[in-house]
Structure 1
Amino acid sequence: MKFDVPLVSGRLIKRYKRFMADVTLDAFEEVVTAHCANSGSMMGLTREGIRVWLTPSDNPKRKLKYSWELLEIDGAMVGINTSRPNGLVEEALRDGRIPELAGFDNLRREVKYGKNSRIDILLEDRDLQKTYVEVKNVTLARGDMGLAEFPDAVTTRGAKHLSELADMVREGHQAAMVFLVQRNDCDAVAIARDIDKAYGAAFDAALEAGVQVYALGCEISSEEIIPNRPIKLAF
């Protein structure tokens, strides 16, 4: 995925109210407020002074001109915009980068299913076999070098999605969880059970029910994000 417009670089001042971040732009030495499309805690990623990249918009109807896309911390490039992962995983699926999920004839996004939910990606083949694919953006890394973890905050919604994936398997369909690791310094992913025990239990139950789990890493630069690196599962 190439960014539609050139990104603007700057330095983070602070993230606040979850969805807002103040940034000093490099080019103009101007302080702007950017939209932060990430509902997680962003643990370890909001250090004052880190380099960040923003997408500018010329839409006059937008309240905030900039959206926070990337950051660099301790030499690692990290993608934090959670509106991107579904499209990145779709790109990977269409390019056959997850071989176990290849061979579909139709791909749809945001399809209603379960208990008032929407599946991120629904794959269908000619025999009407359905595979429900849930995508999670992974940005947390702490302690062991090279190990990414999910979630970075308690996620009741995430546990609910795992339960619904298990329900789809019991109904005779296939279901898969794809962890998209948007860090270029990690080669494995694990569940952060100390952060959310309920999510860990729901994950174990989903595995036992037959939900498939895959992880994909990304090459990240200020020009593009390419979901193409195999990531080990450390469960």
Structure 2
Amino acid sequence: MEFTPALQQGTLIKRYKRFLADVRLDDGTETTIHCPNTGSMKNCLFPGELVWFSTSDNPKRKYPNTWEIAQTTEQHLIGINTGRANALAEEAINAGVITELTGYSTLKREVKYGDENSRIDILLSDENRPLCYVEIKSCTLLEQTVGYFPDSVTTRGQKHLRELMHMVSLGHRAVLLFVVQHTGINIVQAAEHIDPQYALLLKQAVNSGVEVLAYQTELSAISSTLSRSCKVIV
């Protein structure tokens, strides 16, 4: 995924009201940008550190700039725009980067499925193979040397695990894909200390046949790309 134009740089002052962040530009002026991450952003907020933001040419937008990348005090980069995760996954599947998901002839996004009024992020199909349901989660929480998901209690995420298990029971393939948008994360596991119910359901999902994958993102001011697999601990 290319950023066109290239991302601009500023220094984070603060994030507030969930959707907004103030940054200081190189010339000393301050501006407000849109924050596309409505979650807790635990361990992703570093006032005084660099951030990168994109610019929209849509004249109707009140805040034309969108926060894309945060820099940590250890110089790691974090893709905080969770809305990019699905597009990154689709791009990587089509390019054959996610080897576990190759060999399908059709890819569809946001397809209704399940018993709990859900939409699957990606549905892969081929006449010679079972349907493959792929649920995508963005992982950005780094603690010590491990990446954790979720960074807050997620009843929605719990529902998605139940739906994936149901798909397996119907004879389909079901995959949970962690898009790791933090350059310091090499291992991913469920955040049992944050959402014990999610961690329990993830173990149940794996035991029922749900596959769990994690792929690392390469981040820069000009592009964001899934590049390699990460270890997952369940």
**TM-score normalised by L of structure 1:** 0.95
Match of 2:205 in 1: 206
Unpaired segments ≥5 residues, structure 2: none
When the two chains are superposed, the root-mean-square deviation of aligned CA atoms in Å is 1.2
Query: Helix, strand or coil for the counterpart of 2:83?
Result: coil
Q: Deviations over 1:47-80 (max 9, x none)?
A: 2111000111121111211110001111101101
CA distance in 1 between counterparts of 2:25 and 2:118 reads: 39
- Displacement, 1:94? 1.2
Query: Helix, strand or coil for the counterpart of 1:83?
Result: helix
- Displacement, 1:165? 0.7
Match of 1:192 in 2: 191
State, as a whole percentage, how many aligned pairs show the same letter: 47
- Residue pair 2:45, 2:70 contacting (<8 A) in 1 also: no
CA distance in 2 between counterparts of 1:184 and 1:128 reads: 34
Q: How many correspondences in the alignment? A: 232
Q: Deviations over 1:151-191 (max 9, x none)?
A: 11111101101110111111111100000111112211111
- Displacement, 1:120? 0.5
Amino acid at match of 2:92: A
CA distance in 2 between counterparts of 1:229 and 1:181 reads: 10
Match of 2:113 in 1: 113
Matches within 5 A, 1:121-200: 121-127=122-128, 129-143=130-144, 145=145, 147-200=146-199
Matches within 5 A, 1:17-96: 17-26=17-26, 28-73=27-72, 74-96=74-96
CA distance in 2 between counterparts of 1:49 and 1:204 reads: 39
- Displacement, 1:128? 6.2
Query: Helix, strand or coil for the counterpart of 2:156?
Result: helix
Match of 1:101 in 2: 101
Residue 3, structure 1, aligned to residue 28, structure 2: no
CA distance in 2 between counterparts of 1:20 and 1:204 reads: 36
Unpaired segments ≥5 residues, structure 1: none
